[in-house]
């Protein structure tokens, strides 16, 4: 292991000065010159009497708790010394994701590490944006023997910190357009076993005794039962347009890019519907078309958050269409498409899904003030033209029956869900 420790320029200087001064002392017959070499000779002999063999070990510690954007991160670095002699100096550097604001993480740290011991560096800070944010890689270089020997840098791979997106409060009071399962949170239009009172009718063979409404039965002197509407569940598919990223993300307290809005809105909508007992699935509209199968409950909510951490811009070559067909989507699912509607293929996809009879709601994730950077005098005009063209696309989508709404947090989907539910109730026939 000694080859990992190399002599420094200080050792060369020590040996050179010692040898030269002694040589000159002998040649010139000068005791003082020999004595000037004494500290260098004594220092080198003392420091090199014991030399290190083991390399320092660096470990990165990072928060494993449920961390949300804007939350406090507790990261740290630990440098261990398994050798029998202390390290006089260990310089540790680490890189961190730009979305983790850790104290002094942009500077190297210099510390001593005792023999067979360790030293720790705390890196408290704040998580600024959702995603898998890296702490590291970290590198350490140690010097021992009074700086006469130094080891080669030891590098430790990065450690990811999972930062979950903030979920803006979201609620939708409107009924689902189409409930699918037998049991769920939504009242259906059919009579059946459920909690929602539909009316009171005369007892008929097959009715359960516990359904008898005794007050009405005593008054009318005939057996009556309370009839209820059956409870149904629904599937919500969140379709995330990841064909491109637009806008600059400023973290949790700054501006939002398209992907920021997409991920935060998806988390909020998923939390809302999963809390109500619905089944939620997710699908990416991009090159890899990642998919999360539909499920319900708290476990699915955590899976959704984990799945959202890996969302990134996943463009598809303009010559090809992303692999998504209406047959991939359940006919009874409510499809919430989170899209900036910048790519014409996204608008085509929305129109096709609606034509195929899916219940589609488009959520516009483009930041309201987003505009290309001004390059010359024609840029404002070009931007206006682009905005007019985009408004035209939105209008055509609405004509196709695709409600498009800008994401605005709580209650922002109520109006469109009401429209979709009304359309779902209408007789179909194309």
Partner 1 sequence: MLAAIVRRLRGARTVLRRFTLIPLIVRFGIGVCGLLAMAVAWPASLLSSEYVVPLVVVALWPAFAPRGRSATVAALITVGGWIVDTAGYDSRIALWRVIALAAALYVGHTLTALAAVLPYDAVVNLDVPGLWLGRSLLVVLVSAVLIVLALGLTADLVGDAFQVATLMGLVAATAVTLLLARLARRG
List residues near partner 1 by CB under 8 A: 2-3, 7-10, 12-26, 28-48, 51, 88-89, 91, 104, 107-112, 141, 143, 146-148, 150
Pick between residue 16 and residue 182 the one whose CB is nearest to partner 1: 16
Query: Measuring CA to CA, how many Å separate 373 from each of 250, 255, 282, 347, 383?
Result: 17, 16, 33, 24, 10
Pick between residue 2 and residue 377 the one whose CB is nearest to partner 1: 2
Pick between residue 55 and residue 282 the one whose CB is nearest to partner 1: 55
Evaluate whether 24 touches 30 at the Cβ level (below 8 Å).
yes
Q: How far is the CB of 31 from partner 1 (least distance, A)?
A: 4
Pick between residue 38 and residue 182 the one whose CB is nearest to partner 1: 38
Q: How far is the CB of 378 from partner 1 (least distance, A)?
A: 30
Of the candidates 74, 125, 71, which has an alpha carbon nearest to the alpha carbon of residue 101?
Answer: 125
Q: How far is the CB of 161 from partner 1 (least distance, A)?
A: 21
Pick between residue 94 and residue 296 the one whose CB is nearest to partner 1: 94
Q: How far is the CB of 59 from partner 1 (least distance, A)?
A: 18
Place of tokens 């702490």: 135
Q: What torsion, rounded to 10 degrees, do the Cα atoms 71, 77, 78, 81 define?
A: 180
Nearest-angstrom CA–CA distance, 261 and 269: 12
Q: How far is the CB of 145 from partner 1 (least distance, A)?
A: 10
Pick between residue 47 and residue 279 the one whose CB is nearest to partner 1: 47
N-term to C-term CA, the chain:
78
Q: Is 397 helix (H, G, I), strand (E, B) or coil?
A: helix
Q: How far is the CB of 184 from partner 1 (least distance, A)?
A: 57
Cβ neighbours of residue 164 closer than 8 Å, sequence gap 6 or more: 66, 67, 68, 69, 130, 267, 305, 308, 309
């Amino acid at each position: 292991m000694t080859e990992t420790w190399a002599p420094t320029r200080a050792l060369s200087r020590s040996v050179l000065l010692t040898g030269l001064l002694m040589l000159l002392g002998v040649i010139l017959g000068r005791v003082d010159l020999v004595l000037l070499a004494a500290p260098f000779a004594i220092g080198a002999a003392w420091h090199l009497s014991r030399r290190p063999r083991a390399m320092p070990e660096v470990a990165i510690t990072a928060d494993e708790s449920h961390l949300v954007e804007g939350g406090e991160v507790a990261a740290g670095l630990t440098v261990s010394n398994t050798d029998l002699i202390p390290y006089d100096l260990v310089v540790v550097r680490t890189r961190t994701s730009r979305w983790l604001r850790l104290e002094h993480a942009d500077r190297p740290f210099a510390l001593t590490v005792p023999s067979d011991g360790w030293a720790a560096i705390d890196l408290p800070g704040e998580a600024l944006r959702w995603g898998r944010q890296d702490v590291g890689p970290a590198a350490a270089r140690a010097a021992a023997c009074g700086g006469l020997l130094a080891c080669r840098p030891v590098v430790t791979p990065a450690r990811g910190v999972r930062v979950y997106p903030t979920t803006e409060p979201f609620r939708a009071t409107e009924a689902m357009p189409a409930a699918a399962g037998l049991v769920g949170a939504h009242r259906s239009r059919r009579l059946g076993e459920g909690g929602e009172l539909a009316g009171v009718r005369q007892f008929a063979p097959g009715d359960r005794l516990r359904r008898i409404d005794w007050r009405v039965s005593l008054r009318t002197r005939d057996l009556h039962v309370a009839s209820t509407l059956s409870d149904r569940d629904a599937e919500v598919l969140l379709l995330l347009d990841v064909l491109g990223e637009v806008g600059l993300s400023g973290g949790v307290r700054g501006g939002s890019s398209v992907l920021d809005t997409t991920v935060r809105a998806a988390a909020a909508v998923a939390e809302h519907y999963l809390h109500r007992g619905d089944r939620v699935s997710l699908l990416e509209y991009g090159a890899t078309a990642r998919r999360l199968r539909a499920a319900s409950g708290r476990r699915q909510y955590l899976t959704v958050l984990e799945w959202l951490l890996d969302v990134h811009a996943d463009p598809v070559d303009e010559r090809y269409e992303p692999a998504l067909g209406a047959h991939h989507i359940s006919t009874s699912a409510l499809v919430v498409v989170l899209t900036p509607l910048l790519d014409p293929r996204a608008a085509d996809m929305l129109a096709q899904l609606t034509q195929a009879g899916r219940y589609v709601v488009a959520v516009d994730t483009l930041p309201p003030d987003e505009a290309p950077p001004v390059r010359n005098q024609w840029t404002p005009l070009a931007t206006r033209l682009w905005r007019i063209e985009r408004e035209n696309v939105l209008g055509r989508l609405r004509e196709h029956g695709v409600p498009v709404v800008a994401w605005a947090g709580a209650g922002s989907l109520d109006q469109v869900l009401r429209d979709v539910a009304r359309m779902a109730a209408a007789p179909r026939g194309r």
